[in-house]
């Protein structure tokens, strides 16, 4: 029987080699330091092991073997375990309403909402401010993104009939080659950014991880379409690679997200719609349509994140504007879009080598550029830019589209 | 001038621990540094010669320090010790299904021990058996497991090998600390319930931080006060305490070394002036 002054724990035949410390720990948990716990049990090594265990964890064993009936030892509760957790704190809350403004670097990889023992290494995440990385739509976008994942083997009918004139097929291959190059940039950028974000902002990291996985699939399906008829890949011009290089070197999370997702992927939404509309074969149509669904989410996160940020930081728009201008200046002497890609887009619409068909193709590609420009202006206005400024900035966007 | 302490590098974690303490001391304004030794004998000799001011000493190294100090008329002080180094015991263990129930039953049997210089797994238990009437190599055979000779039993390998010999049935009994009996049971070196403790030594103390004659009285007091002020609640100290296996520093004491001193004399390990007389079997 236990009394308030001297609780007793009966271990029966359980030994310390079989987990007896769990019962002792539990019995000690609610005792104040200095109080005693009487221990009974039949394991022959009980007292030897209890003493060894207590010594290690800052408890003392007092009067072993003496006293009341069957009591083999008395543990005097120490305070080592309490000291370990005395300054512990919660790492915010587990839900998205538990995100804090500035998670501590030593919280490291701990789950959000976990009880954090003080101390430990400070991990080198440099994006640690809520206002720099968060968007309220991130949790929902992540959930949507996960449920919208598709398997390239099943979602695309690779066996469908594809028999295009050689030059149209070559145009498709050139466009796919260009898309793969741009998708690779779109894969690397969120992957690099997510490794810099404090894991406390879990949903943003998760969303970027799924975004990178989306881009990995896009790289796959565009490559498979390019190689479908067994030919070679198309060309990659210096101008396109220069344009993408300026995206990769932007270290600021918000600016990188702005240039990539709002302006670049935003323009790609129009391009992918265009390719869906003028696809000369079902495989080209399916791969561009699937990629477009994913890109719409990428753009939504970019816009959502920057809307959130510009609400808390009025100077943001000035910095966004400067980023566009900086990139424009860096690219001003480059050609922009690979000429082979432009010609391939025209060829795709024309479908044949008659002057009227080429004229129609050229006009449609011009219309695509206009649509891209209108889309960018629309998104810039959503971020709070006045219409005239939105028009100026959109005009400075890279001619490479991405 | 820096206060210089010696420590024996029985494990790479020794560097992490003392480098951590060093930076903690620096933050408190104490210029502390440490040097590493590959075994305890040279460390004790350097402490005696004043080349280091303090030494993290095994209990055996403390006994030699004490004897050298007495013989040459200088003062050695056990400044602090780990709470976990007080009141240890060693146990004599047999297989559960064996016919041995008492130390006397081990007459004529082979008993596994640790390294020749292990206080806890060899010297104190063998002295205990002798006191119980079992003269080593006369009434009973002692099978040593010499791993890390010169480390004074800090290397757990010899003790674990003794436990393995018991499990394998090549010896009738084995000697180890209570803590390691529990550890070997939990890690599976000895399967749970497969062994029985038939005897347990009186409690004894383990390591201490010994201060030699070269450290001025005031510095020693300051050093001791700082050590005793380290708290497990301090997030900078706690990981170091966890690595070093203590929950608080306690003042050093000399009351827990008598059993080992007896064992040292019985085996002529050191002479009364602190000379190493252990012979060829002890070659750190
Ligand atoms: Fe993509
Ligand atoms: Fe994308």
- First-to-final CA distance of chain A: 76
Of A65, A23, A19, nearest in space to B193 by CA: A19
Across the range A69-79, mean pLDDT stands at: 92
pLDDT higher than 80, residue A3: no
pLDDT higher than 60, residue A339: yes
Q: Which residues of A touch B186 (CB under 8 A)?
A: 16-17
Secondary structure letter of residue B75 according to DSSP = -
The pLDDT assigned to A2 comes to 40
Q: Which residues of B touch A56 (CB under 8 A)?
A: 84, 179, 245
Are B177 and A52 inside 8 Å of each other by CB? yes
Q: How far apart are CA A209 and CA A206, in angstroms?
A: 5
**B196 three-class SS:** strand
The pLDDT assigned to A338 comes to 85
Which of A33 and A400 is assigned the larger pLDDT?
A: A33
Mean pLDDT of chain A: 93
**A21 three-class SS:** helix
Helices (H) and strands (E) in chain B, counts: 9, 11
Q: Which residues of B touch A52 (CB under 8 A)?
A: 177-179, 181-182
Q: Which residues of A touch B179 (CB under 8 A)?
A: 52, 55-56
Are A119 and B238 inside 8 Å of each other by CB? yes
Q: How far apart are CA A12 and CA A10, in angstroms?
A: 6
Q: With an 8 Å Cβ cutoff, is A52 touching chain B?
A: yes
Bridge partners (DSSP) listed for residue B32: B3
Q: How far apart are CA A240 and CA A223, in angstroms?
A: 18
Could you give the domains of chain B?
Answer: 3-85+205-267 (3.40.190.10), 90-200 (3.40.190.10)
Write down the residue that tokens 């101008």 correspond to.
A239
Q: What tens digit of pLDDT does each residue of B236-272 get?
A: 999 999 999 999 999 999 999 999 999 999 999 999 9
Q: What is the DSSP string of A219-248?
A: HHHHHHHHTTTS-------HHHHHHHHHHH
Secondary structure letter of residue A34 according to DSSP = T
Q: Tell me how far the alpha carbon of residue A268 lies from the centroid of ligand 2, in angstroms.
A: 9
Q: With an 8 Å Cβ cutoff, is B196 touching chain A?
A: yes
CA distance B182 to chain A (A): 6
Across the range A44-61, mean pLDDT stands at: 96
pLDDT band for A34, please (50, 70, 90 cuts): very high
Q: How far apart are CA B107 and CA B94, in angstroms?
A: 13
Q: What tens digit of pLDDT does each residue of B29-71 get?
A: 999 999 999 999 999 999 999 999 999 999 999 999 999 999 9
Closest CA in chain A for residue B236: A119
Return the half-sphere exposure (C-beta side, CA atoms, 13 A cut-off) of residue A313.
Answer: 18
Identify residues whose C-beta is under 5 A from ligand 2, the ion.
A 186, 265, 295, 298
Of A207, A382, A364, A196, nearest in space to A275 by CA: A364
CA distance B120 to chain A (A): 14
Q: What tens digit of pLDDT does each residue of A14-27 get?
A: 999 999 999 999 99
Closest CA in chain B for residue A16: B182
């Amino acid at each position: 029987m236990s009394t308030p002054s001297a609780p007793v724990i009966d271990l029966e035949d359980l030994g310390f080699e079989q987990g007896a410390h769990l019962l002792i720990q539990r019995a000690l948990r609610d005792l104040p330091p200095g109080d005693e716990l009487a221990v009974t049990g039949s394991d022959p090594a009980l007292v030897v092991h209890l003493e060894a265990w207590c010594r290690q964890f800052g408890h003392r064993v007092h009067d072993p073997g003496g006293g009341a009936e069957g009591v083999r030892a008395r543990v005097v509760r120490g305070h080592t375990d309490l000291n370990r957790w005395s300054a512990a704190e919660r790492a915010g809350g587990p839900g998205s309403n538990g995100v804090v403004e500035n998670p501590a670097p030593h919280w490291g990889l701990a789950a959000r909402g976990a009880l954090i023992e003080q101390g430990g290494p400070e991990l080198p995440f440099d994006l640690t401010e809520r206002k720099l990385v968060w968007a309220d739509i991130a949790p929902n976008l992540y959930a949507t993104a996960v449920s919208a994942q598709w398997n390239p083997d099943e979602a695309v009918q690779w066996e469908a009939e594809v028999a295009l004139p050689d030059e149209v097929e070559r145009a498709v291959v050139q466009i796919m080659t260009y898309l793969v190059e741009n998708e690779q940039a779109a894969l690397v950028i969120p992957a690099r950014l997510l490794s810099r974000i404090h894991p406390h902002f879990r949903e943003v990291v998760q969303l970027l991880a799924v975004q990178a996985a989306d881009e990995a699939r896009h790289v796959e399906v565009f490559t498979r379409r390019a190689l479908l008829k067994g030919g070679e890949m198309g060309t990659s011009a210096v101008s396109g690679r220069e344009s993408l290089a300026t995206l990769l070197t932007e270290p600021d999370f918000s600016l990188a997200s702005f240039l990539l997702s709002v302006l670049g992927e935003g323009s790609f939404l129009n391009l992918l719609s265009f390719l869906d509309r003028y696809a000369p074969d079902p495989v080209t149509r399916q791969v561009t349509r699937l990629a477009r669904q994913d890109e719409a989410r990428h753009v939504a996160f970019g816009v959502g994140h920057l809307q959130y940020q510009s609400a808390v930081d009025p100077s943001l728009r000035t910095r966004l504007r400067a980023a566009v201008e900086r990139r424009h200046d860096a690219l001003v002497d480059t050609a922009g879009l690979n000429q082979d890609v432009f010609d391939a887009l025209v060829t795709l619409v024309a479908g044949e080598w008659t002057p009227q068909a080429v004229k129609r193709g050229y006009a449609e590609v011009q219309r695509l550029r206009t649509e891209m420009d209108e889309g960018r202006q629309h998104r810039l206005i959503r971020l709070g830019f006045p219409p005239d400024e939105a028009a100026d900035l959109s005009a400075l966007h890279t001619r490479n589209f991405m | 001038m820096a206060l210089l302490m010696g420590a024996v590098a029985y494990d790479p974690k020794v560097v992490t621990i003392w480098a951590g303490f060093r930076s903690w001391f620096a933050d408190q304004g104490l210029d502390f540094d440490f040097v590493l030794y590959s075994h305890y004998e040279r460390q004790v000799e350097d402490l005696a010669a004043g080349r280091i001011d303090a030494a993290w000493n095994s209990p055996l190294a403390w006994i030699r320090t004490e004897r050298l100090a007495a013989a040459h008329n200088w003062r050695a002080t056990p400044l602090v010790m780990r709470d976990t180094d007080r009141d240890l015991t060693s146990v004599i263990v047999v297989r559960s299904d064996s016919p041995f129930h008492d130390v006397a039953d081990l007459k004529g049997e082979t008993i596994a021990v640790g390294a020749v210089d292990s206080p806890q797994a060899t010297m104190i238990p063998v002295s205990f058996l002798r006191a119980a009437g079992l003269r080593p190599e006369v009434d009973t055979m002692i099978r040593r497991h010499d791993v890390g000779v010169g480390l004074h039993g800090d290397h757990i390998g010899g003790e674990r090998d003794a436990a393995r010999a018991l499990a394998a049935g090549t010896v009738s009994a084995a000697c180890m600390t209570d803590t390691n009996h529990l550890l070997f049971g939990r890690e599976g070196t000895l399967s749970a319930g497969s062994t029985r403790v038939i005897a347990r030594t009186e409690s004894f103390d383990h390591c201490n931080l010994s201060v030699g004659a070269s450290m001025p009285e005031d510095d020693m007091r300051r050093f001791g006060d700082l050590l005793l002020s380290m708290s497990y609640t301090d997030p900078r100290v706690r990981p170091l305490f966890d690595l070093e296996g203590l929950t608080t520093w306690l003042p050093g004491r000399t009351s827990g070394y008598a059993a080992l001193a007896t064992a040292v004399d019985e085996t002529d390990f050191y002479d009364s002036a602190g000379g190493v007389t252990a012979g060829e079997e002890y070659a750190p």
